[in-house]
Homo-oligomer: A and B are copies of this chain.
Amino acid sequence: MQITAKQLAKLLNGTVEGNPDATVHAASKIEESQEGTICFFANPKYEAYVYNTKATILLVADDFQPSQAISTTLIRVKDVYASVAILLEQFGNRQIADVGISEKSSIHESAKVGEQTSIGDFTILSKNSRVGANCTIYPQVFIGDNVQIGDNVILYPGVKIHHDCQIGNNCILHSNVVIGGDGFGFASQEDGSYKKIAQIGNVIIEDDVEIGSNTTVDRATMGSTIIHKGTKLDNLIMIAHNVEIGQNTVLAAQAGVAGSTKIGDNVVVGGQAGIVGHLKIPNGTKIQAQSGVTKSVRKENQALYGYPAIDYKTYLKAYAAFKNLPSLVKKINELEKKLKEIS
């Protein structure tokens, strides 16, 4: 595909600065840009690359003020990342799976498959399961009894969805995601052993949810573990039984949420952060990577950091003092000494 700066500016609702007929055929990273490509600049850390890029077109923010001369044709847009999303769709060689149902799959006679849905080799659709239309179910997927899956869903190889769980429309589940494994529930017995508590609930994943590779979402003890619309989970995340996560919330890789905690909308949880069970995390909360949240959060839109997590700025200030603790101790000892001398 060949496309000009003028055409791209129209597509992205931006303005051209330079040669409107400059033509590109691909996108590249700003650190590795090549002639004939468009690359983008959004993160200030990469500004040095702007001034010696070989890219033919450079996508920048409306308000970007170069500190040196730039020879490249610029396209200025309101939101660079949003434009990149549109751009990569243009250039991306999206995988189009063969439409069809593999003869090497195993589909129960009671299972239903919508139109234009493809089912890969060695994939299993169990009793009374239902997959909607226009779905791509890759090979080696397991879909348990009574599972319901909406339209336009992509399940990558190795995804396992257990009985009674529900997946909405437009969801993407990456390889080896496990939905609906048993919640971790045991009753301790007098002899110190544990008796398993049957986990008879399910998992409900609403529309437009994306879940990264090897993430696990456990089924509820009773009722449902719920991930609401538009929420995005990265890789290797643990969502325990009866957790509920609101809309358009983002969890970075290796975060974990313990049982029955309720997370609101538009929350951002950093990588490797943990949230203990039975808490409420309101809308707009920001939890810094590796933090450990041990108490419910009262107000919306707060930023948290630390272990256990406290107010973000309070943690940073305390940590700055922490680093100097040895010299502080020394100072105190000197004060003590002087005071003794005086008194």
Binding site for B on A (CB under 8 A): 27-29, 32, 43, 45, 79, 81-85, 88-89, 91-95, 102, 104, 106, 120-122, 124, 138-140, 142, 144-145, 156-158, 160, 162-163, 172, 174-176, 178, 181-182, 184, 186-189, 192-200, 208, 210, 212-214, 216, 218, 220-223, 230, 232, 234-236, 238, 240, 242, 247-248, 250, 252-254, 256, 258, 265-266, 271-272, 274, 276, 278, 289-290, 292, 307-308, 310, 314, 317-326, 328-329, 331-332, 335-336, 338-339, 342-343
Partner pick for A142 among B102, B138, B234, CB 8 A cutoff: B138
Q: A256-B253, A278-B45, A332-B328 are in contact. Are A92 and B216 (CB under 8 A)?
A: no
Of residues A139, A220, A331, which shows the largest number of chain B Cβ atoms within 10 Å of its Cβ?
A: A139
Q: Once the chains bind, are B140 and A198 in contact (CB under 8 Å)?
A: no
Q: Which 3 A-B pairs have the closest CB atoms?
A: A321-B325, A88-B198, A92-B198
Instruction: Decide if B181 touches A85 in the complex (CB within 8 Å).
Output: no
Tell me if B212 and A184 are in contact (CB < 8 A): yes
Q: Known: A248-B194, A290-B307. Contact between A157 and B160, CB under 8 A?
A: yes
Cα distance A338–B318 in the bound complex, in angstroms? 24
In the bound complex, do residue A222 and residue B88 qualify as a contact, i.e. CB atoms below 8 Å apart? yes
Extra A-B contacts (8), CB below 8 Å, given A122-B124, A253-B258: A84-B197, A95-B144, A140-B140, A178-B235, A196-B210, A213-B216, A236-B238, A328-B328
- The verdict on A82 contacting B187 (CB below 8 Å), with A156-B181, A192-B266, A198-B92 known, is yes
> In the complex, how many angstroms separate the beta carbon of A291 from the nearest chain B beta carbon?
9
Judge whether B321 and A200 touch: CB under 8 Å: no
Contact of A223 with B32 in the complex, beta carbons under 8 Å: yes
Instruction: List the number of copies, as a whole number.
Output: 3
Task: Pick the contact of A176: B32, B156, B158 (CB < 8 A).
Answer: B158
Which chain B positions have C-beta within 8 A of A199?
Answer: 88
Q: A332, B332: Cβ atoms under 8 Å?
A: yes
| Cα–Cα, bound, A221→B29 (Å) | 9
A sample of 9 inter-chain contacts (CB < 8 A) reads A81-B188, A91-B200, A102-B106, A106-B121, A142-B157, A212-B218, A238-B253, A254-B274, A322-B322
Given contacts A85-B197, A184-B235, A198-B89, contact A213 B178 (CB under 8 A): yes
Interface pair A28/B222, CB less than 8 Å apart: yes
- A335 and B326 in contact, given A157-B160, A176-B178 (Cβ under 8 angstroms): no
